[in-house]
Structure 1
Amino acid sequence: MATTDRQATTLALAHALSAAERGLAVIPLSRTKLPSLRSPHGDDPSHPPCHGECGRFGHGVYDATTDPARIRALFAAAPRATGYGIACGLPPYHLIGVDLDTKNGTDPRAALRALALRHGFTVPPTVVVLTPSGGRHLWLSGPPDVVVPNSAGRLAPGIDIRGAGGYLVGPGSRTAHGTYRAAPGTAHLAPAPCPPALLRLLLPPPRAHHPTPPSAGGHGQGLVQFVLAAHEGQRNTRLFWAACRAYEDGIGPELVEPLVDAARATGLSAREARATIASAARMTGR
């Protein structure tokens, strides 16, 4: 049994190093699909939040790295690891995982097809990882200036999203229920760009606003207020969403400067704001 575990760990390390060569940041996982290394801070409620600033291992997805030496060190510290996780939201792909979970009798593939038909997008050929339970993970690439949050069942029952701060179980990982494998013909692919219409569905819904006149000016002011209400961590995402809406509604060019001013008021630089708005213009085909 111990020999089998060592073989599983060696194989997981090999898969993790291969993923890192593709630019994917990884961490070791246990058979339960959870990070193998426990927090060095234990359950001490008095310890300030730490995302690895202390320099020790055991911070979950915040340990993720593409450095081969550090990956080997992580696995050396986790001798019972049988798999590896791939961090989402990091360069170069800014990975977004669409987890189609077949548990509880749901048909998430049919739900995703219905969403695609309703919102006018097509999921492009991309990496697909088959799970032991019969589900599948679709790997998509997001824009660098947009933060996609994690969610469970928000799009539809059985469809979970892995975004910034989340991770996907890498192909080749062994778990208590079986092995994750790349779907035939997809292992060589790079994560495909997320369709703009799907990306907008993945972003947080806007907060309710006070009614505005049904004119372009009123709608534009509502989008500006939406950006102004952003907290730290939401600024780029809210700006991107508002700019997409503005360009879709034909008021993008006239709203660029007001949106830049609003973004600067939340703490973004003018350069960052213009880059995000330009990304929205490209994503909407404007």
Structure 2
Amino acid sequence: MTVDRRLLLRAAALAGLTAGSGALSACSSGPGTRPGAAPLSLAARPQPSDRATPGADPAGTPAAGSPAASGTAQPGAAVPPVPALPPLAAGTPEEVVNGPRDRPQIALTFHGQGDPAIAESVLRTAEQHGARVTVLVVGSWLDEQPQIARRILDGGHELGNHTQNHRNIAALTPDQVRQEIAECADRLQRLTGSIGRWFRPSAAQYASRTVRDQARLVGYEHCLSFDIDPRDYTDPGSDTVQKRVVNAVGNGSVVALHLGHRGTADAMPGILAGLAGRGLTAVTASELCA
């Protein structure tokens, strides 16, 4: 696999950064984050193309048979522009567990894999309620469903990286960790023009020091954890998923959910209604940490 030259240059630049910021973090870090770690600049992150994809409709959705729709990219092929991401607050840590507790916003984040029809149901429900979500996609899912990447972005949502094959990242060597992250990043770059801002480790709530280091080499300055886990992947039923989320969330919560489970999709209307009843708004992880 060829790593984008910009990412290599960027990794080299990051290696020269030194700690020195005393800014307070708007988002809370996980237990593995280095005390006093300096916030990392986002200025050098890969920039999306502002050119339209050949064969795309005016809204930017790839037409059937186009390179983006098929998941194949021709050399030099352009992709639709990625929606601009809000800048993160100064002091945002390497690993974000929750957002600021003084604003009535929460982030619904989703493991991106599974039946695309169920994923579409989740996205459509969110949009009907004016909510925006963050989807951490598995790269092998993008290989099977390349069109879903643009569908997520075109709905006003956010994309991130959840490794290529969803292996137990804690059991991998550093080189294997980097490969898992880089292969998914390559899919995101090819399909959307950006690797996304967030990386979430597979089969782990928190990223180890090794995982965070390898993620930075690929281009991810921030790993995204969570503080609310309704365990929807155990399929406890939509009512249970709804109650576990609504009863637990508060200002700044980051909720971990899964796109490929019917009970999660069925719980979404109740979750969003429950959030509204508590005066909470579902925004993307980047908006939460802005």
Scaled by the length of structure 1, what TM-score is found? 0.25
Scaled by the length of structure 2, what TM-score is found? 0.25
